[in-house]
């Protein structure tokens, strides 16, 4: 039999494979709530404008609530023959309210309908990220608060560079996630224009009120161009871009947790709740959540690339290609929310191994820069010469199998006779970090000031 939505000019129904490739109900049912909310607003507007009667609009709006409750209760019979969420909902509405349901689609197309539903779904995901990120940031700030003066090695090239504070490292990620938060907020405000009323592509001759539906659905305004409104998906791409950058930050932190929780580093102990054991090696505490998080991030990058690929060759306006915008965006959003929640849990529960951190910070000649700076400050050496002298002292210590603070003053004075006993003050890691008071530097005093600021902002 021919299709009941457009069967007027069709003699037979679609091939089974045609139906299989065409159907999106397997995934776009996730937009049921948005679809129904949008339809209810549309029906109310049609009545307010005298395009349908109040009686019909009321029946439609009530019927849509019934459909929603059936869907939410899990007893809705989804039909692939009805293709997508829009037609599934409308077909069921027709069963419930009768012919009046047929008036709902006046002055509307599935093109503006799907653009609306998807936009609202993505907007919800922005809100979810905007809600989740401050919780992760608070967990990082709590770590920074506890460890404002715990010393650890700071790395470049994953080689010991200079001692830094644990708190400073935690606040570095807080800054990154704060920018991510800003990106989700920016994306949300830019996407907050309603496509509803663009109809198929050209607008409609019915006297609709797009301001009314936009307002009812929480949009700032209706989108100004109907062709643009039905055919662009940059709102989803912006969400995926913000998600990708955030995911990249999450993945770097996950990578650090994997390294730090190893027996070789022992910088951090993940709690039992965030570790897994091995069925054969009893000593194991594996950081599976951090590893999976690191891996899942690839799905988010993939979704962004996939959607760019779908869109890049499409002439205006709607093409069915665009149905492929949703599945990977859904998956990316799920992956992001899971990753944010897992990272918040791991960070909140983890314990810095302060003794091991300090021991690591003190090895690897981490205060060589402090020594060179001392030679400049106290002896007036040009930095390049101070660098050379310090290099010789490092070599001396390395050859003797000791660290810089273990050299005797006599040994040092062979390399440069001007060195005095006061040099030992700058060779300790605590003095080193305490001296880094330049704005943005790692000194515990700076960290405490920043922690206070973050607590205020996050309150
Ligand atoms: N399921 C479709 C999608 O996701 C809805 C829009 C269909 N529009 C159309 N003209 N066939 O894109």
- Index of the ligand 1 atom closest to the CA of residue 24: 1
Distance 232 CA to ligand 1 centre (A): 13
Q: Spot the catalytic one: 69, 271, 278, 392.
A: 278
Q: What is the mean pLDDT of residues 338-350?
A: 97
Dist CA 19 CA 41 (whole Å)? 30
Query: What is the model's pLDDT at position 448?
Result: 98
> What per-residue confidence (pLDDT) applies to 76?
97
Helix, coil or strand: residue 217:
coil
Percent above pLDDT 70 for the chain: 99
Residue with tokens 């050496």: 381
Q: Which atom of ligand 1 is nearest to the CA of 320?
A: 12
Q: How many whole angstroms separate alpha carbon 291 and alpha carbon 404?
A: 36
How far is ligand 1, taken at its centre, from the CA of residue 323, in Å? 6
Phi, psi (rounded to 5 degrees) for 134: -60, -30
- Residue 361: the pLDDT is 94
**7 has a pLDDT exceeding 80:** no
> Of all protein residues, whose CA lies closest to atom 12 belonging to ligand 1?
323
C-alpha 60 to ligand 1 mean position (Å): 22
Distance CA 413, CA 61 (A): 89
Environment class of 226 (CB within 10 Å of its CB; exposed 0-12, middle 13-18, buried 19+): buried
Is the CB of residue 213 less than 8 Å from the CB of residue 306? Answer: no
- Angle, alpha carbons 363-368-370 (nearest 5°): 115
User: What pLDDT was estimated at residue 393?
Assistant: 95
CA distance 365 to 160: 8
pLDDT of residue 353: 97
- Asked if the model's pLDDT at residue 1 lies above 60, the reply is no
User: Distance (Å, rounded) from C-alpha 393 to C-alpha 411?
Assistant: 9
Q: If phi over 0 gives left and psi between -120 and 50 gives alpha, with beta otherwise, what is residue 291?
A: alpha
Is residue 245 within 8 A of residue 82, CB to CB? The reply is no
Residue 320 in this model has a pLDDT that exceeds 90: yes
How far does residue 404's CA lie from ligand 1's centre (Å)? 69
* pLDDT (tens digit per residue) in 23-81: 999 999 999 999 999 999 999 999 999 999 999 999 999 999 999 999 999 999 999 99
Query: Which residue's alpha carbon is nearest to atom 4 within ligand 1?
Result: 323
Instruction: Take residue 263 and report the two structure tokens written for it.
Output: 């027996």
Q: Give pLDDT, residue 39.
A: 98
Tell me 201's DSSP state.
T
Alpha helix (H) residue ranges in 165-220? 166-191, 210-216
Q: How confident is the model at residue 2 (pLDDT cuts 50, 70, 90)?
A: low
Return all residues near 169 (Cβ < 8 A) that are at least 6 apart: 152, 154
pLDDT given at position 10? 85
Number of C-beta neighbours around residue 298 at 10 A: 12
What's the confidence (pLDDT) of residue 131? 98
Expressed in angstroms and rounded, the spacing between residue 372 Cα and the centre of ligand 1 is: 67
Task: For residue range 375-429, list pLDDT tens digits in order.
Answer: 999 999 999 999 999 999 999 999 999 999 999 999 999 999 999 999 998 999 9
Distance separating alpha carbons of residues 290 and 271, to the nearest angstrom: 12
Q: pLDDT (tens digit, 9 = 90+) per residue, 164-197?
A: 999 999 999 999 999 999 999 999 999 999 999 9
- Which of 323, 324, 329 for a ligand 1 pocket mutation test, highest count of atoms within 8 Å of Cβ? 323
**283 band by pLDDT with thresholds 50, 70 and 90:** confident
Which of 168, 187, 189 shows the shortest CA–CA distance to 454? 168
For the question of residue 249 being annotated catalytic, the response is no
Nearest to 162 by CA among 151, 150, 147, 148: 151
Mapped onto helix, strand or coil, the DSSP state of residue 420 is coil
User: Quick one: angle between helices 110-146 and 234-260, nearest 10?
Assistant: 30
CB 412 within 8 A of CB 406: no
Q: Report the mean per-residue pLDDT for the chain.
A: 95
Greatest C-alpha distance within the chain: 101
Distance 10 CA to ligand 1 centre (A): 19
Distance CA 120, CA 332 (A): 16
Q: Is 77 helix (H, G, I), strand (E, B) or coil?
A: coil
Q: Quick one: pLDDT at residue 282?
A: 80
Please name the residue whose Cα sits nearest to atom 11 of ligand 1.
320
From 84, 115, 199, 230, give the residue whose CB has the most ligand 1 atoms within 8 Å, as the site to mutate: 84
Atom of ligand 1 minimally distant from the CA of 200? 10
Q: What are phi and psi of 428, to 5 degrees?
A: -80, 145
Question: What percent of the chain clears pLDDT 90, i.e. is strictly above it?
Answer: 92
Backbone angles phi, psi at 23, to 5 degrees: -70, 135
Ligand 1, CB within 6 Å, residue ranges: 24, 28, 84, 110-111, 114, 318, 320, 322-323
Encoding tokens for residue 153?
A: 């090695």
157 given a catalytic annotation: yes
At 4 the pLDDT is: 63
> Hunting for tokens 């400050």 — which residue is that?
377
| DSSP type of residue 276 | B
With cut-offs at 50, 70 and 90, classify the pLDDT of residue 439.
very high
Rounded to the nearest 5 degrees, what angle is found at the Cα of 244, between the Cα atoms of 442 and 301?
Answer: 135
pLDDT for residue 5: 67
Give the per-residue pLDDT at 291.
Answer: 96
pLDDT value at 276 more than 90: no
User: How far is residue 435 CA from its own chain's centroid?
Assistant: 35
Q: What is the mean pLDDT of residues 205-225?
A: 98
Which pLDDT does position 280 carry in this prediction? 79
pLDDT above 60 for 287? yes
Listed range (200-209, 304-313, 419-428) with the worst mean pLDDT: 419-428
How many helices and strands (H and E) does the chain possess? 19, 6
Mean of the pLDDT values across residues 80-86?
95
pLDDT average, residue stretch 284-307: 95
User: Catalytic one among 157, 205, 279, 438?
Assistant: 157
Q: Could you report the per-residue pLDDT of 240-258, keeping only the tens digit for each?
A: 999 999 999 999 999 999 9
Q: Determine which of 86-90, 274-278, 309-313 has the lowest per-residue pLDDT on average.
A: 274-278
Nearest Cα residue to atom 2 of ligand 1: 323
Q: How far apart are CA 99 and CA 96, in angstroms?
A: 9
Spacing, Cα 205 to ligand 1 middle (Å): 22
Atom of ligand 1 nearest to the CA of 83: 1
């Amino acid at each position: 039999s021919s299709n009941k939505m457009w069967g007027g000019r069709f003699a037979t129904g679609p091939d089974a494979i045609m139906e299989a490739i065409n159907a999106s109900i397997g995934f776009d049912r996730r937009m049921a709530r948005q679809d129904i909310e949008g339809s209810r607003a549309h029906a109310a507007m049609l009545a307010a404008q005298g395009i349908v009667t109040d009686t019909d609009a009321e029946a439609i709006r009530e019927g849509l609530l019934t459909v929603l409750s059936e869907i939410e209760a899990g007893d809705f019979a989804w039909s692939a023959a009805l293709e997508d969420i829009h037609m599934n909902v409308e077909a069921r509405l027709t069963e419930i309210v009768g012919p009046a349901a047929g008036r709902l689609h006046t002055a509307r197309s599935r093109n503006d309908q799907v653009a609306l539903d998807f936009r609202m779904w993505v907007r919800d995901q922005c809100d979810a990220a905007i809600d989740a990120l401050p919780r992760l940031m608070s967990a990082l700030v709590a770590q920074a608060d506890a460890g404002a003066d715990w010393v650890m090695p700071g790395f470049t090239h994953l080689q010991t560079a200079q001692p830094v504070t644990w708190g400073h490292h935690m606040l570095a990620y807080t800054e990154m996630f704060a920018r991510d938060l800003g990106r989700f907020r920016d994306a949300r405000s830019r996407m907050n224009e309603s496509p509803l009323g663009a109809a198929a592509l050209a607008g409609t001759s019915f006297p609709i009120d797009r301001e009314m539906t936009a307002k009812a659905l929480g949009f700032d305004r209706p989108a100004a161009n109907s062709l643009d409104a039905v055919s662009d998906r940059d709102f989803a791409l912006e969400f995926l871009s913000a998600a990708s950058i955030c995911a990249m930050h999450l993945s770097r932190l996950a990578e650090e947790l994997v390294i730090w929780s190893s027996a070789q580093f022992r910088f951090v102990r993940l709690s039992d709740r965030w570790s897994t054991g091995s069925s054969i090696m009893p000593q194991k505490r594996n950081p599976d959540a951090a590893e999976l998080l690191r891996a899942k991030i690839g799905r988010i990058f993939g979704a962004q690339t996939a959607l760019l690929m779908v869109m890049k060759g499409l002439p205006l306006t709607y093409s069915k290609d665009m149905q492929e915008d949703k599945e990977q965006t859904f998956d990316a959003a799920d992956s992001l929310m899971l990753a944010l929640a897992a990272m918040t849990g791991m960070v909140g529960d983890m314990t810095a191994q302060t003794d091991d951190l300090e021991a690591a910070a003190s090895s690897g000649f981490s205060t060589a820069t402090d020594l060179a700076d001392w030679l400049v400050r106290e002896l007036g050496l040009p930095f390049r010469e101070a660098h050379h002298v310090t290099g010789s002292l490092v070599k001396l210590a390395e050859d003797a199998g000791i660290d810089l603070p273990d050299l005797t003053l006599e040994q040092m004075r062979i390399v440069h006779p001007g060195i005095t006993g006061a040099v030992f003050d700058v060779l300790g890691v605590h003095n080193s970090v305490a001296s880094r008071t330049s704005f943005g530097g790692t000194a515990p005093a700076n960290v405490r000031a920043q922690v206070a600021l973050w607590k205020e902002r996050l309150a």
